[in-house]
Amino acid sequence: MDRIKAYQLVGIETAMHMLRPGAIWEITNREFTKWDDPRPCPSIEEVFETVEKIKAFEDSINTIWTDDQLAERGIKQHQIEAVLESGE
């Protein structure tokens, strides 16, 4: 059975929490539009590099979801089949 990946951690919010826990920020069109923290604002490249590291970590774990869990996450059978057919 092919493994379906439903990421739990991947995202800008998680990356920002890991980079600057507790910072108050907003991003619009890949630019920080609000930064309220005494630490320096990370670059958008740093944020996306962190997202990729988080994704690689999740990819390294052999998570097996039940059909009900996938349905709860909004992953429909046609989406699953499309992923399996594309080989991703």
Task: Give the integer Cα–Cα distance in Å for 88 and 8.
Answer: 18
Interior angle at CA 35, CA 32 and CA 41, nearest 5: 75
Residues of the chain with pLDDT > 90, as a percent, come to 44
**28-64 per-position pLDDT tens digit:** 999 999 999 999 999 999 999 999 998 898 888 888 8
pTM above 0.95, yes or no: no
Largest CA distance in the chain: 49
The answer to whether the CB of 26 falls within 8 A of the CB of 34 is yes
Q: What is the pLDDT of residue 48?
A: 92
Task: Give the integer Cα–Cα distance in Å for 21 and 37.
Answer: 10
* DSSP 8-state assignment for residue 46: H
